[in-house]
Structures are given as structure tokens and as C-alpha cells.
Structure 1
Amino acid sequence: MTARCTNLPVDGGRLWADLMALGTITEPDKPYTRRSFSPLFLEGRDWLAKRFAAAGLSVRIDTGGNLIGRMEGARADAGTIMIGSHSDTVPSGGRFDGVAGVVVALEIARSLREAGRRLNCAIEVVDFLAEEPSEFGLSCVGSRALTGRLTDDQLAYRDPAGERLDQAIARVGGDPARLAAARRDDIVGFFELHIEQGIVLEQQGIDLGIVTAIAGIARVEIVFDGRADHAGTTPMDLRRDAGLAAAITSAFVASTAREAAAGGNGHFVATTGVFEQFPNAANVVPGKARLVVDIRAEDHAVTERFLAALDARSGEIARECGVERARFALLSDTDPAPCDTALQALLSQSADALGYLSLPMASGAGHDAAFMSHIAPSAMVFVPCRDGRSHAPEEWGEPDAIAAGAAVIHDAVLRLDERHNKTESEGSHAR
């Protein structure tokens, strides 16, 4: 490995200070919690907006509720390079998931301005609205809006208090009546930094992951109807145990997922994340059971085969257990999102130039970059996180690791601007 750069183009100490400061805006008894649309989320956004402005960026909230800071480029027709992530958290989450990507984007823009580097392309720093699953049952609200994938049906979703999603977007500064204005066609490249949320980089001693694709996510709900009976008096051969059917199905999910993961078709995992049985009493044979299975794959064909197998086998299990499979419903199914190969190459070149080891890897978690890939070349950088922990207060990334990721994206932004300007100039001469 070449020697690591000791004179990074970003200020790692300032970046870290911002990251820690934003982490203090949290529910005191549930660190680190800033749920989207909540008063604390708005307080965090206000803090970010002031930091954007202090960095010399023009600040606005688009009609989809995304907070955007912009630095104009030297050429009005050169397009925009966008960098960012999200500042909302899961309940009792961490200080790094999403937030590190926003603060890194801010530091890159700030460092470019302080160095007097005015690029041909405009630079935008974005805090996407509600990337994490919100109280409205929807994730990636802001990136859906920016890419034209937030539907009227979704805008009508309600939270437990009865507020509609479109009302909530308006409440945080968006304008859902003009949602189409949020859609962009000027972005020439999108970069997002994120903690890995896994242990591969840490275990292998690799500095950075360069994401090849973001896994598609499918979720299936399965409901078994049996008969509730006394657990002490009902003979085993006369039971219609819905809980047993659910348990066998859950075991099938795990064993079949292991086989699929070993099949050589990229990243694949499946989890029975919801397992409910009713009436859920120690002395009652379960009369009903409900499962929700989460399936994530780099190759959608593997998901389709898994779903077909799960459909067939869960029906067989119901018959074997003497229960009815009352529901087998595909709740959602998003396609995998490949990251742009040219941007991956730029990131790899930047990592090499700065002396960092990088590893191509797929993301099993969803990100705003998955939606951005529909309208612009998009790429992600992963940095290691301690023990792979995420969505927990113990979530931790080292300051040097985050500064390294920021430096690599900074360098890749310069490379992209130069490449894009050269391509545009050559095209202009050809015309």
C-alpha cells in the first residue's frame, strides 16, 4: 500500500466537531433520536441550515422537503454535483448513520470554497427528508420526491395521530402541491458517504468500501389461521397450531436463505423480522400467527426464486399443520440499484491516490442513493463502524475513517468535474 496522504483536503477535526455537535440534538432519554418530522428533527435541520449558510452556501428547502445548500459553478450549463445523505434517525439510533454523510458533504463544500476552488459544476449539499422508515410507514421520502417517485397515494398516508404525509411535508417547509418542481434533471453525479453497518471492512482492515450496488428489498406478509385450544388437554395429533406453522416457515426462510447466499449471485439475506402469534398465552395453542419476511438481494432474479419457493413451501406447511394459510402478500418489492461504474472507478482512483485500501462491496441496506440512481450517476463510499453496530446508541465510526471517506469523495468530485467539463467541451467542439 502506498503511504497515506497526511495533508488531507478536508478538515477532519472540524468535520468531527460538527458530527458530535449534531448528535447532542436528541431526545435525552433515548440517545440518539431525531425522528423525521419531529420538533427535534426540525431543530437539527435549523442547526444544519445555519452551518450551510456559514459555509457560504445558498440554503433552501425544495418542494419535497429536502434541505439543500448550493455553491454555484463557473459554468451555468455544467450541471450539478450533489453530495449528501440524511439527518433523521431511527429510535435510539446512532450519531453516524446518515448524519456522517450530510456533515461530510458540508465539509467538502466548505473546503472547496476555502481553497478557492470554484468548479465548473455547481456543488449541492443535501439532507434528504425522512430516509429512515417514518411514522407514515414510508422511507426515503425526500429522495423519492427529488426523483419523481413519491406518489399521490403515498402522500395520503397517515401517521398514528392522523396527520397526512403531504401535510407533514408542508409543515417542515416543503410544498407538496408543487411536488413536481422537486424533480431534478441537472445532476451529473451523486455521492453519498455512509458507515458500513457491517463488519467486513473492520475485520479485513480495509479503509473504505466502494459500493457496487444497493440491494433490492422485498417484504412478504404470511398469516396462518388455526384454532386456539387448551395447551394441556388437546392431544398433539388433534391440534391446529398456527404458531407451529409459523415456526417451521421461519426455519425454512433461514435455511433457504443460506443456500441462496452461497449460490454465487451476490449479496442475499432473508429475515423473519415480525413473528406474532395469538392469543400468545403460555397455556393456549396458538390460533393465529403472522410473519413478515424481509428479503434483500443484489440480483432480483434470486429474490424471485426465493419468493416462489416461500410461496410453495408455506402452503405445504399449512396443510401439514392442519391450518389455513389465510394470507401470502407481497407488501413491497424494490429492484436492486447498481451504482455507476464510472463513478466507482473515480472513487477507486481517488482512494489509491490518497493511499487508502478500498474494497468493492454491495450494500444490504437501503439508501437514498438507490433512488438517486434513477436520475443520475450515483455512487457510495462505506467507512468502517465498530463491531458492525448500527441503529443503536453504540454506533461508532473513527474520526480518521470518516475524514478518509470525505477526502476520497472530495478528490472524486474534482475528477468528475474535470471529466465532465472535458466531455462537454469536446461535445461542443464537435457540434
Structure 2
Amino acid sequence: MQQEYTARAEQIMQRIHELAAISEDEPGVTRTFGTPAFLEGRDLVQSWMEAAGLLTRVDGIGNLRARLESQNPDAKTFVLASHIDTVVNAGKFDGPLGVLTGLDLLEQLISQRADLPFHIELIAFSDEEGVRFHTTYLGSEVVTGAFDHAMLARRDENGVTLDQALEIMGGDASQLALDAIPAAEWLGYFEMHIEQGPVLWERNVPVALVTAIAGQQRVELTFRGMAGHAGTVPMNMRQDALCAAAEFVLTAEQFAQAHGQGLVATVGKLSISNSASNVIPGEVTCTLDLRSDNQAQLADAYKALLNFAEGLAAQRNVELVWKLVQQTAPVACSQPLNDLLIQAIAESGYETISLVSGAGHDAVPVSAVAPATMMFIRCYKGISHNPLENVELADLAAAIAVAERFIHQLRMKHERTSC
């Protein structure tokens, strides 16, 4: 049996490498939402789904959806999913690993002519990373019915609105509401994903159970001072926007270090307007990414850093524009589904490790309408969002074995329920 799982893992790896060859640039992998590279990659994945005999379609937001029908037309739908968009200069595995492992599971069910007590829908979400329009979960929010149509007016860095991007992709924004799976029709959700952390790597365990997903608050801050000549404006008369931003960056780091395990704060983007070596920076924009699995801790950190930024701006005589771009609450995974996953891990002969995901996933919006669970797969040193991202064949084979047991147990549970 292990030899069979290894052969299946090899096929998944081959597909992952083939998909990774489609990129907007070199040497990493870049397939951001709606770009020609994204569309080419999606077409390739769709060809594999159709070759397996699955019914496929592309919905209005660009999600690729494949369906394996139960003989019971009134059955609920269980969703297997992850995403196929990437960050800039990404690795090969973040997102596609879950989609293509899900495809492998469905190929096996088809070959076995399995009679399902529920429909299974495999979804390759179009935009989880949020790179192009600076908002995550566009794909899964459409599927869950949570999409905010005001987002259609949001523009990318080239001034293209989301509405225009969908039209270029062949989508129809007016039909987005029809792409949602009604809450009453959901049975549950299962996502397989690389860990993006070092725990499994260090402990040499192939998979882990995800118990919760950290909440996030993303902010865009702009400090506006006064640009001036670097040689003529005295130090005590300057309104240096970059110095204000620099002080905020270090304080955010120090605050997270000092205020408890589980809280992380990151400034990942910094932009200096009209920058030059001999000009005092007059306007600087940066980002703040706050995460914690504790809602109270997250809210307290947000308030404290906002108060600090306001005081800093007043002290340095600069203007502050604080814009909350996105917020999500911490999410607990479904205990009944987790119990089945724990059983599958144990029966496969592996230690059960429970982890909280500091990274966001499409399971976040899904959890508002359906029970959701996730399985992490060991990755090289926990490296992610990086071309060094890697998964070993043996770990992928182990993950296939666990996932297959999980789906089998879910089938048995619902076959007994329907009897």
C-alpha cells in the first residue's frame, strides 16, 4: 500500500512542478489573480480535472470548481479546496498542493466507482493571497456568499478595478451571488496545506491537525510631513515622515515581543514618495499586519498601536492616516471533523500534533457557513512564500494516506446516518 501512496505522490509532484513552470517571472513562481499566467495555470489544472472525468466550471470570480456527484440528488456538499494564486516570488506548494492532492483523492474515488452519501466539490480558489487587490479570500467569499460587492470598485496598482479584471477574465460580476453554495447545502470543508512553520520539520512528523486559525488585522498607515532639502533644514525643524515610520516599525516589533505568546506584528511594506538621497522624506506609507488566535489580545494590540501612532504623529508634527484594510476574527476548527482527522492520523501510524495556524486560509470565511478542518503537511524548515519552499515525497505520501482515511471515515459516518 505504501508503494501505491508513493506512486500517487510522485504524480502529484509532477503536476506541481508542471504548474510551477507557469509564472509571470523567474526564478520563483508568480501567478497573481487574473494575470495571463494565472489563467494559463488554471486551464492546466482544469485539464487534469476533466481528464479524471470530473464535471468542471469556472465561476464568476475565477474559481475553478470540479464536482463528483452523489447518486442522491438531495445530498449535501463536502468541499475539498485550496488556492492556486501565489504571492510574488513564491514557492511551488503553497495552495496547489492542497488542490492537486484533493484531485488525487477524487481520482481514486472515481476509479473505485465509489457510491457517495454526499457530493464532493473540489475548488481551486482564484484569490486567497490578496496580492493584486490587497484583500484576501476573494474566491472563498464568493463561494460562501460573503462577498462584498463594494470590492468591485477596488483598483490594482495599474488602476484596473476588480470589476474590469473579472470582465477581462471572462467573468460576470452580476452573477457572483449565484456562485455561492447555500449554507443549508454545506456538509463541511477540508483543506490540506503546507505548515508554513518549522514544528513538523523539527519533529520529523509528516502531518498535523489544525485546531484554530489566527485572526488578522491589516492596516495601511501614511505619515505625511514636509519634504525639504537635506542640507538646509535644521534637524530640530524637520517633519521627517520616514523617521516617524521607522519609529513605528520598531515599536510594533517591540510591542509584539513584549505582549505575550501568540501575538505577531509585521511591517512588510514601506513606500517613500518622491524619494531621493538629498531630500527629507515628506510622505511614507507602510503596512501593519497583526495576528493572534486570541481575539481580546488582537483587539488590545490594535488599539495600543493606533494610540502610539497618533501620539507619534503629534510628537513629530506629521499627519497620520490610519486605514484598516482587512480584519478577520480567530477561527476554531470543527471538533467533529477534527475528531475524524485525529482518528485518521492515528490509524495511519503517526503522532497527532495539534497546531494553531498563524497564516490565514480560505477555511476562515468557510467556517462562517460550514464545519471546517485543516491538515498541515510538513515542509522544508517551515519555509514558505519563498522559492525554497519544498515538500518531501515521503511526507506527501503520508498525507495522502491520512486524507484518504479521513474521507473514508466521513463516508462511513454519513452512510450510517442516512440508513
Taking structure 1 as the reference length, what is the TM-score of the superposition?
A: 0.89
Give the 3 Å change call, closer, same or farther, for CA 44–241 of structure 1 in structure 2. closer
Contact 1:65 1:175 in 2 (8 A): no
The 1-side partners of 2:281 and 2:339 are apart by 54
Aligned equivalent of 1:60: 57
Structure 1 segment 157-236 matched on structure 2, within 5 A: 157-185=154-182, 186-232=185-231, 234-236=233-235
Aligned residue pairs total 417
The Cα shift of 1:352 comes to 0.7
Match of 2:403 among 409, 417, 426: 409
The 2-side partners of 1:418 and 1:168 are apart by 43
The Cα offsets for residues 189-241 of structure 1, whole Å up to 9 and x where unpaired, read as: 11111111221211222221211222222122333333344444544444433
Contact 1:85 1:193 in 2 (8 A): yes
Aligned equivalent of 2:248: 249
The 2-side partners of 1:146 and 1:371 are apart by 9
Give the 3 Å change call, closer, same or farther, for CA 128–221 of structure 1 in structure 2. closer
The 2-side partners of 1:56 and 1:305 are apart by 51
The Cα shift of 1:403 comes to 2.5
Contact 1:191 1:409 in 2 (8 A): no
Aligned equivalent of 1:24: 21
The 1-side partners of 2:13 and 2:120 are apart by 21
Provide structure 1 residue ranges, at least 5 long, that are not aligned to the other structure.
426-431
Give the 3 Å change call, closer, same or farther, for CA 231–164 of structure 1 in structure 2. closer
Give the 3 Å change call, closer, same or farther, for CA 222–155 of structure 1 in structure 2. closer
Aligned equivalent of 1:316: 311
Give the 3 Å change call, closer, same or farther, for CA 44–220 of structure 1 in structure 2. closer
Give the 3 Å change call, closer, same or farther, for CA 228–167 of structure 1 in structure 2. closer
User: 1:381 aligned to 2:375?
Assistant: yes
The Cα offsets for residues 1-21 of structure 1, whole Å up to 9 and x where unpaired, read as: xxx966649822222222222
Contact 1:269 1:295 in 2 (8 A): yes
The 1-side partners of 2:411 and 2:138 are apart by 28
Match of 2:126 among 123, 129, 132: 129
Aligned equivalent of 2:146: 149
- Percent identity over the alignment? 36
Moved more, 145-154 or 215-224: 215-224
Give the 3 Å change call, closer, same or farther, for CA 170–325 of structure 1 in structure 2. closer
Aligned equivalent of 1:429: none
Aligned equivalent of 2:291: 296
Contact 2:309 2:320 in 1 (8 A): no
The 1-side partners of 2:263 and 2:152 are apart by 31
The 2-side partners of 1:354 and 1:372 are apart by 27
Taking structure 2 as the reference length, what is the TM-score of the superposition?
A: 0.91
Contact 2:345 2:352 in 1 (8 A): yes
User: 1:364 aligned to 2:358?
Assistant: yes
Aligned equivalent of 1:103: 100
CA RMSD of aligned residues (A): 2.4
Which secondary structure state, in structure 2, belongs to the residue aligned with residue 11 of structure 1?
helix
Contact 2:91 2:387 in 1 (8 A): yes
Supply the AA of the counterpart residue of 2:290.
Answer: I
Contact 1:10 1:407 in 2 (8 A): no
Contact 2:6 2:393 in 1 (8 A): no
Aligned equivalent of 1:286: 281
Supply the AA of the counterpart residue of 1:315.
Answer: E
The Cα shift of 1:301 comes to 1.4
Which secondary structure state, in structure 1, belongs to the residue aligned with residue 354 of structure 2?
strand
Moved more, 106-115 or 17-26: 17-26
Supply the AA of the counterpart residue of 1:245.
Answer: A
Which secondary structure state, in structure 2, belongs to the residue aligned with residue 273 of structure 1?
coil
Give the 3 Å change call, closer, same or farther, for CA 28–226 of structure 1 in structure 2. closer
